[in-house]
Chain A
Amino acid sequence: MLLQQLVNGIIAGSVYALFALGFNLVLGAMNILNVAQGAVFTWSALVGFYLIKVYGLPFPLALLAAVAAGGLLNMLIEILVFRPLRNRGGSAMSTLVASIGVSMILISAAQTASDAQVERFPFGTLPEIQWSALSVRLTFTQAVVLVTTLATMIGTYLLLHRTRLGKAIRTMAFNERTAKMLGIPTESVARWTFFLSGALGGLAGVLLGLMFSTVHFLMGEPYVLKGFAAIVIGGFGSVIGVIVASIMIGLAEVFSTVIGVGAFRDVIIFGMLFMFLLFRPNGLFGKDEEVRP
């Protein structure tokens, strides 16, 4: 059983990682804590669901469309809300509050769109195969999730460290003024950062909805705070850190059930987060610079 729980934890953790990576990108590059990421996650899942259920699109196409939708939605939020706010000199606090507002609007819209009902991706969206080895069961869907998240993480890392866009994002994360001085088109980079972040969140949403047979308007809620936890514990700014922290959180949740305190799993996770904030705010892999605002 322990091996199976390990797998459960890693799978849950990798979905958290996708979500948290999106968070991390925007926080790093733009110093914006975008709570609306949870709503984008939900909307992508809904879009994916509708495309498959109502329009009968094959899964890979629907997935791509849903991911793109997530990216576009996030980008739209940047253009309509965050950019005007920044132009008016918004502080870290006001951007957080604005993102909360956007999140509320989107979730309310999702409730109306889905009629407050819980849905699931139609049976057969992905083949219902299950493999069994060494007392560990793995479904086709779970395997797809694992492979996709792994590929995405590697892809994100490569994007950030090997491409021009990635370098631009990292420069902006370091110091926006410097980036401007170096001739980086910060506005357009900002937009792309949001797109990527939304795409990551969207991917997480669809995969999650698929894996757990649930699509509904409140599905994003629990992930926001866990995303925060992942960024803090992993170390703000570090892709590897966020991934490791997310997996740790997934494992912590699962093992709290194993040792019998499953009901307290939230207390454990947030307790961990709190401890890190007290004693090691830079997280596991964060640079040892001053504590970034």
Chain B
Amino acid sequence: MTTLLSRVAGPVRTVSRRAQTLLIATALTVGAGTFTASAEDIKIGVPLSLSGSVAFAGTKMKEAMELAFEEVNSSGYLGANKLVPVWADDRSSQPQGISVTQQLALRDNVSAIVGYTASNICLASLPVAQELKVPTLQSDCVVPGLDAIGNYVYNGVRPYESFVLELVDKLVPAKQIKTAAVIYLRENPVFTRLAPAITKAFEKNGVKVVATEAVTGGGDADFSAQLTAIANTKPDILAILTLGGQVGPVMVQARRAGMEKTLFIGEQSFDSADVRRIAGPNAAGSYYPSHWFADSPLPRNQAYVKAYRAKYNREPDTFATNGYNGVWLIAQIVKKAGSGDRAKILAAMESPGVYDTVFGTEGKTKFENRMLTMTPFFFTIEADGKIARFEGK
């Protein structure tokens, strides 16, 4: 208290010394943002869920993103400039997501933000990034509505709903499906939205939805009650809309409950080595869409998969790839902008352009209404655990 008082009433030179320091600090910060000619560290904020309930996805994203940052810097992609990641953990919690967004924007003065792991964190944090006018590229949230947040928020993935619905349209005639059932995770907004959407899609295709069951929590492991009830209705296909860690057990328990021939359909969470590992032969007959697959012959993708395998000794999954792709997208945008200045980066994002990507088979993509264009691919898991492309036969 007393020190504050003396500071206000104290000698003029104390005040001006403080002002000087602040002025220099501001100059350096602003300078760092506009300096382009010589080697510059461009800070990129990377908020991810590194602990808590979505940590299983966030940690994978971080690994792949680390790889990407290394590649960008060591290849000299931005000339003498380097991209410096500023990692932040939102702990799978929204208030923390908001806090770290504020800190990245104001304290660390990042030039741009790339990241976010879970949809509900995106919902809370992206409006804050918009308010603070930080160019943001969210890389992993698939809940609809994120394109409407504001001009600073861009999306490196798009909502999965349309892909899943497209898959339904293909599967129903190909497999002559008459009845369907849905099991979905209540706790997650992505799935509670997808459940009625997929139900409508089934009905539109003339399929009767005979059972819909809810799984209450992301930590639940006992699905026997729901699956027994579903098995009783003998559906041709079961939509499994749960987190990745639950998909495998659901498949195992579903087969056990009597649904030996039932097909499974799901979304992004089906695409993981974990699912195949846990479900084993029970996963045969699963269908899912993905915007990326490890076997894509795209040279960029093959290089990425090889590098990931070499560094981490396991297969990359979609979460990891979303993160990796996000970093490379930002790198391309920064290159286009020519500097680490936020306004220039925003202008680069807004101007039309084609970007390289590891998604899909064409390797090129662009932003449409602030969302990355993506082509869905459809896959099925076969009896021997291998993944095959599903073309609609």
Contacts and interface: CB of A to CB of B under 8 A. Distances in A.
A and B directly contacting (CB within 8 A): yes
Given A216-B219, A222-B217, 7 more contacts: A1-B228, A4-B228, A115-B59, A116-B55, A118-B244, A123-B280, A257-B229
Given A214-B221, A219-B219, A5 B229 contact: yes
Contacts of A266: 216
B95 interface: no
Given A213-B252, A213-B253, A257-B229, A221 B219 contact: yes
The 9 closest A-B pairs by CB, nearest first: A118-B245, A212-B221, A214-B221, A257-B225, A263-B214, A1-B232, A254-B225, A8-B224, A116-B55
B338 interface: no
Given A118-B274, A120-B278, A263-B216, A214 B245 contact: yes
Classify chain B's interface size: 35 or more
A262 interface: yes
Interface string A199-233: 00000000010011110101101100000000000
A117 B274 contact: yes
A118 B57 CA distance: 11
B367 interface: no
A212 B216 contact: no
A9 B229 CA distance: 13
Contacts of B220: 222
Contacts of A144: none
A214 B249 contact: yes
Interface string B262-280: 0000000000001001101
B292 to A, nearest CB: 21
Nearest to A266: B216
A265 interface: yes
Contacts of A115: 59
18 contacts: A5-B225, A8-B228, A116-B56, A118-B244, A120-B252, A211-B222, A212-B223, A212-B249, A213-B248, A213-B253, A218-B218, A221-B219, A257-B226, A258-B225, A262-B213, A262-B225, A265-B216, A266-B216
B219 A222 contact: yes
Contacts of A116: 55-56, 59
Nearest to B186: A263
A117 B218 CA distance: 13
Interface in A94-118: 111, 115-118
Given A4-B228, A12-B224, A258-B225, A120 B219 contact: no
A120 B282 CA distance: 14
Given A118-B245, A118-B248, A137-B258, A213 B225 contact: no
B388 to A, nearest CB: 22
Contacts of B245: 117-118, 214, 216
A118 B248 CA distance: 10
B257 interface: yes
Given A258-B229, A263-B186, A213 B274 contact: no
Contact of B222 (A12, A119, A218): A12
Interface in A124-143: 130, 137, 139
For A211, A216, A257, the residue with the greatest tally of chain B CB atoms inside 10 Å of its CB is A257
Interface string B39-54: 0000000000001010
Contacts of B56: 116-118
Interface in B241-256: 244-246, 248-249, 252-253, 256
Contacts of A130: 256
B189 to A, nearest CB: 15
Interface in A8-27: 8-9, 11-12
Contacts of A1: 228-229, 231-232
Interface in A52-98: none
Contacts of B231: 1
B226 A262 contact: yes
B153 to A, nearest CB: 28
B257 A137 contact: yes
A123 B385 CA distance: 14
A208 B228 contact: no
Contacts of B51: 111
Interface in A237-293: 253-254, 256-258, 262-263, 265-266
Contacts of B256: 130, 137, 139
A253 B228 CA distance: 13
A258 B225 CA distance: 8
B242 to A, nearest CB: 11
Nearest to B258: A137
A4 B257 CA distance: 9
A41 to B, nearest CB: 12
Contacts of A263: 186, 214, 216
B278 A118 contact: yes
Given A111-B51, A111-B55, A139-B256, A212 B222 contact: yes
A213 B256 CA distance: 12
A159 B256 CA distance: 36
Contacts of A214: 221, 245-246, 249, 278
A83 B253 CA distance: 43
B71 to A, nearest CB: 24
B213 A257 contact: yes
A266 B186 CA distance: 12
